[in-house]
């Protein structure tokens, strides 16, 4: 207290403005610290105990247990927190005055009022969860906590947006804001571990993040100490001047400039911003790739066009970027629009497939609009534009690395959930944080006049064609690191590199291409296009290692074009350019589907098996786009700020690429096989073989089915299994690869079968026995869909055994099925090895059925169970092995087709070959058998008992409700 004469009256006291946030910080922190100290002293074992475990598993108390359960810490906390309310409300009012003073530079009066009201509500909500504990009223406590957290978002964002441009305080605010919201992710994770999985010790880790949340919250408001250093309260006795006896407080502010933060701090926050953009780029690619995958579900079940294909054209919403007020509005509020686009991520919780597709289409459209507006808005800011394009490219590479870690699935796709290996909640939380970071970030150039830097003669139409073709190229070939491996696939032993380590080489090539993108004159040259096209040609026409090498060259070429083509797109009038680009992309996407699905679409014959047509058009689009691109438009960057942004973007790009490569290398190391596959029952020389049509690993509810497939294959103890409709390396299947997960998790060898350039629906073989050699066949199909087959020779207990896995044509095409069955019969008949047939034939069994006899009699093989008349598609047959058992197992909702399983023995005293001079009638007579009961079969040779009755996971023995066994 001071007494100072002043012309306005007698100054009774001068109180620094910083004392308000100081008092708030000290008192608020004391309320929690005192409660913690007293609680640990008086009731340590009680406050660390929870409904799952106690000490020593749980050894650190949570905030709620510390402040809400026991006397006296609970009451001391409540008393001290009450003392905090005064400084808290005064701080809110002072901030309101600060914002009003700075209008219009940093806000508006209306927003200042909104922020003040929000902070008052937040303060009252804080009182709600402090004074009404969960033990008093759980619902009231939770509602107050939810209101508090919801009010925290506008409090944090609004404070940063309206704060004086003091670099020091702003950097601290962003740091504490990120620490607050960042703590929510692990906090929720450990809470689920505790509450749902009931893991002892998880609540202790949850408590650490809960406490960090409290102190980040307090620290965020404490930053006002810096902003209020120039504030001063004066208590003046104005009666000394004008004869009144009243006194008033007068808030006076003084201007002041803070020195810039240290370079290290600026780099740190720019790195956070850069990482946020990369993650939002990852979200964009995730939604782009999930949309066709989800559309495919509907024609798959309709066996033809369903009408849902129209959702592919949701991307033409980009035409709205031609409306200036929409584009500028999205650019100014892009963080919020990114947040809205996450509806595509959260859609995994929608059970109805059609509604889930609608949500994904909406999310992708919003993400596309946001990225389009961002790139267009930054086109006149060379450094910023470079940064935007690079983060989108890095998001694509991150997409590949994440899919590599999840065996070619994306953990935030809407076909994933917690039961199928998804991490949707984590992906959503990271998306929310990244969106909030964009909201908090200053948006340079959003209010600046926009001018387009174009070259005379540069065509918006050619730019659109180039960008549309390029987006198709990236989506179809570079949204999974194993796609190039599968394009170059051959039969054993000339398979080319497997996804591990082939995927690592693809990701390295993508990184190299993006690094070379700075050489723009080289990237747009004709010779570089010729080199890239040659690499694509080698990949398409040559199998094995040489084809893969061509694919690596093409990968480097394609990624080197990323900044050039996207910058060229952003320089054009956005409405018409984005519309044409999306139409070109859609046309190529449909053509990409037509080359395989020609039997089910109108005018399908025109594109039948013509991936080469699609590639020629795609390369033509890239040629037109690169030569239309104006390399001189990347003018010399003279502004210091732009030069700095450009350099920092390149620096962070290189660091990001190093990090992504390190992550990919780690993933490959962890995924390398650690042991040699072993059959389940070598003591009995048993071979358990099955066939299953798995509908592209999308179950009946439109969720990924690989984990459930693994479980039933493991429970049935299958040594060899053929999986049909298994080629997922197409845009409409998400560029997935089910063989990666199944073969690694089941510890089996895998033959992918004819690759995606062979235009089949795919057939895959998994085997516990080594694959000595294999041949991939495209069976004769003059009319209908192309049929595939794998003919493999396995090393079974030291002897060669041949296996065929095949997927024949549809019922409508009799000629195709005749020719295909004849060819399969020839392959089996010409082999001297024991033989197992696992296939999809589309016929009825029995004498007089032409297709059936062409296969069985033509191949000199025996039907696994002649009397089983209730079959149509799938068949098992054998020769040269002893039949032990046969079972039919229901699909369990994974597909619409059952699993058929046969058990065989490879015995020394059983004939493993056949006499070529025999007639088919004499050959058939040799296979005599008698059905026996299960009790007569050694236990190790029986089918699992868990599939009797209701079975397990909806899989059960059906049709004859039990396995058959044979003597």
Q: Which residues are catalytic?
A: 807
Sign of the dihedral defined by the CA atoms of residues 350, 354, 355, 361, in that order: positive
Answer whether 75's CB lies under 8 Å from 133's CB: no
> SS3 helix, strand, coil % of the chain, rounded to 5?
60, 10, 30
Q: Are 566 and 579 in contact (CB under 8 A)?
A: no
Nearest to 691 by CA among 591, 500, 837: 837
Helices then strands (H, E): number in the chain? Answer: 31, 18
CA distance 208 to 188: 12
H or E element at residue 724: strand 720-724
Pairing status of strand 247-253 against strand 231-237: antiparallel
- DSSP code, position 785: P
* Pair of tokens at residue 877: 């047959």
Distance CA 878, CA 828 (A): 10
Phi, psi of 880 (to 5 degrees): 80, 10
| C-alpha Rg value of the chain to the nearest Å | 34
Pairing of β 899-905 and β 882-889 = antiparallel
Which residue blocks in 2-72 are alpha helix, DSSP H?
Answer: 19-47, 63-68
- Nearest partner of 271 among 413, 391, 132, 446, judged by Cα: 391
- Residue owning tokens 């969960």: 134
Q: Which helix (H) or strand (E) holds 144?
A: helix 138-162
Partners of 807 in the beta sheet?
A: 788, 840
Query: What gap in Å lies between CA 961 and CA 890, rounded to an integer?
Result: 10
Are the CB atoms for 236 and 247 separated by under 8 Å?
yes
The answer to whether the CB of 904 falls within 8 A of the CB of 884 is yes
Gap between the Cα atoms of 424 and 422, Å rounded? 6
Give the integer Cα–Cα distance in Å for 479 and 496. Answer: 20
Sheet strands side by side (includes 899-905): 749-751, 763-767, 720-724, 686-693, 899-905, 882-889, 964-966, 931-932
- Please give the structure tokens belonging to residue 286: 């995730």
Work out the end-to-end distance of the chain between its first and last CA atoms, rounded to an integer number of angstroms.
106
Scored b (16 or more CB within 10 A) or e, 480-514 reads: bbbbbbbbbbbbbeebbbbbbbbbbbbbbbbbbbb
742: Cβ–Cβ under 8 A, 6 or more apart, which residues? Answer: 706, 709, 710, 713, 723, 748, 750, 766
């Amino acid at each position: 207290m001071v007494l100072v004469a002043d012309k306005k009256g007698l100054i009774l006291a001068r109180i620094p403005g910083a004392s308000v946030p100081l008092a708030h910080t000290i008192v608020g922190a004391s309320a929690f610290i005192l409660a913690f100290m007293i609680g640990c002293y008086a009731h340590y074992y009680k406050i660390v105990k929870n409904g799952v475990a106690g000490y020593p598993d749980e050894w650190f108390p949570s905030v709620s247990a510390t402040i809400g359960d026991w006397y006296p810490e609970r009451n001391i906390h409540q008393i001290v927190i009450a003392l905090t309310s005064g400084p808290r409300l005064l701080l809110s009012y002072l901030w309101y005055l600060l914002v009003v003073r700075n209008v219009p530079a940093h806000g508006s009066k209306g927003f200042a009022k909104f922020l003040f009201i929000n902070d008052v509500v937040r303060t009252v909500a804080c009182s709600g969860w402090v004074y009404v504990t969960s033990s008093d009223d759980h619902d009231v406590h939770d509602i107050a906590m939810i209101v508090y957290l919801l009010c925290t978002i506008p409090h944090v964002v609004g404070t940063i947006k309206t704060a004086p441009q003091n670099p020091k305080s702003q950097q601290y605010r962003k740091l504490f804001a990120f620490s607050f919201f960042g703590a929510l992710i692990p906090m929720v994770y450990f809470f689920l571990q505790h509450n749902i999985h009931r893991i002892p010790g998880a609540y202790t880790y949850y408590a650490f993040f809960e406490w960090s949340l409290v102190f980040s919250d307090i620290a965020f408001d404490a930053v006002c100490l810096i902003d209020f250093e120039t504030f001063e309260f004066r208590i003046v006795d104005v009666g000394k001047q004008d004869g009144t006896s009243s006194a008033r407080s007068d808030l006076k502010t003084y201007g002041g400039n803070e020195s810039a933060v240290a370079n290290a701090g600026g780099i740190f926050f720019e790195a956070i911003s850069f990482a946020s953009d990369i993650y939002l780029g990852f979200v964009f690619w995730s939604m782009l790739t999930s949309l066709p995958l989800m559309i495919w579900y509907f024609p798959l079940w309709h066996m033809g066009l369903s009408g849902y294909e129209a959702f592919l054209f949701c991307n033409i919403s980009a035409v709205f970027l031609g409306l200036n007020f929409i584009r500028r509005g999205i650019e100014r509020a892009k963080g919020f629009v990114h947040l809205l686009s996450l509806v595509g991520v959260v859609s995994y919780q929608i059970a109805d497939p059609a509604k889930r597709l609608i949500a994904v289409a909406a999310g992708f459209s919003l993400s596309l609009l946001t990225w389009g507006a961002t790139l267009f808005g930054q086109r006149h800011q060379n450094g910023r534009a470079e940064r935007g394009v690079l983060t989108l490219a890095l998001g694509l590479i991150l997409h590949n690395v994440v899919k590599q870690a999840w065996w070619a699935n994306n953990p935030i796709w809407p076909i994933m959930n917690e039961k199928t290996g998804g991490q949707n909640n984590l992906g959503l939380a990271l998306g929310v944080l990244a969106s909030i970071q964009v909201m908090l970030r200053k948006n340079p150039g959003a209010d600046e006049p926009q001018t387009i830097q174009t070259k005379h003669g540069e065509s918006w139409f050619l730019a659109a064609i180039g960008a549309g073709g390029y987006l198709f190229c990236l989506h179809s070939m570079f949204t999974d690191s194993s796609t190039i491996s599968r394009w170059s696939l051959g039969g054993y032993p000339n398979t080319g590199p497997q996804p591990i380590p082939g995927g690592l080489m693809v990701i390295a090539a993508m990184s190299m291409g993006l690094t070379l993108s700075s050489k723009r004159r080289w990237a747009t040259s004709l010779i570089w296009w010729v080199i890239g096209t040659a690499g694509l040609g080698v990949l398409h026409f040559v199998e094995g290692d040489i084809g893969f090498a061509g694919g690596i060259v093409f990968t480097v070429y394609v990624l080197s074009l990323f900044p050039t083509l996207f910058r060229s797109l952003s320089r054009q009038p956005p409405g018409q350019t984005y519309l044409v680009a999306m139409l070109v992309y859609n046309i190529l996407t449909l053509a990409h589907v037509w080359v395989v699905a020609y039997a089910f679409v109108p005018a399908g014959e025109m594109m039948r098996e013509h991936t080469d047509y699609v590639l020629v058009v795609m390369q033509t689009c890239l040629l037109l786009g690169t030569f239309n691109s104006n390399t001189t438009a990347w003018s010399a960057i003279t502004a210091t700020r732009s030069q700095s942004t450009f350099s920092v973007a390149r620096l962070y790009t290189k660091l990001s690429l190093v990090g992504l490569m390190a992550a990919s290398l780690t993933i490959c190391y962890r995924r390398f096989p650690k042991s040699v596959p072993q059959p389940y029952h070598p003591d009995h020389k048993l071979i358990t073989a099955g066939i299953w049509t798995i509908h592209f690993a999308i179950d009946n509810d439109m969720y990924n089915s690989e984990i459930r497939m693994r479980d039933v294959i493991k429970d049935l103890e299958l040594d060899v299994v053929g999986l049909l409709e298994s080629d997922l390396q197409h845009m409409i299947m998400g560029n997935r690869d089910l063989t990666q997960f199944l073969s690694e998790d089941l510890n089996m060898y895998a033959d992918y079968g004819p690759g995606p350039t062979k235009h089949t629906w795919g057939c895959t073989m998994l085997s516990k026995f080594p694959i000595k050699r294999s041949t991939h066949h495209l069976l004769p199909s003059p009319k209908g869909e192309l049929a595939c087959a794998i003919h493999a020779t396995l090393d079974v207990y030291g002897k060669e055994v041949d296996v065929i896995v095949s997927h024949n044509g549809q019922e409508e095409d009799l000629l195709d099925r005749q020719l295909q069955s004849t060819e399969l019969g020839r392959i089996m008949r010409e082999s001297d090895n024991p033989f197992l047939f696992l296939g999809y034939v589309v016929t009825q069994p029995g004498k007089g059925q032409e297709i059936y006899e062409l296969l069985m009699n033509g191949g000199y093989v025996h039907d696994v169970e002649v009397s089983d008349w209730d079959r149509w598609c799938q068949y098992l047959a054998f020769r040269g092995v002893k039949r032990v058992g046969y079972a039919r197992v229901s699909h369990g909702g994974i597909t619409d087709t059952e699993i058929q399983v046969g058990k065989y023995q490879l015995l020394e005293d059983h004939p493993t070959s056949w006499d070529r001079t025999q007639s088919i009638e004499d050959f058939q007579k040799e296979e005599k058998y008698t059905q026996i009961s299960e009790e007569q079969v050694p236990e190790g040779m029986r089918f699992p008992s868990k599939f009797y009755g209701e079975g397990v996971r909806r899989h059960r023995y059906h049709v004859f409700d039990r396995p058959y066994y044979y003597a």
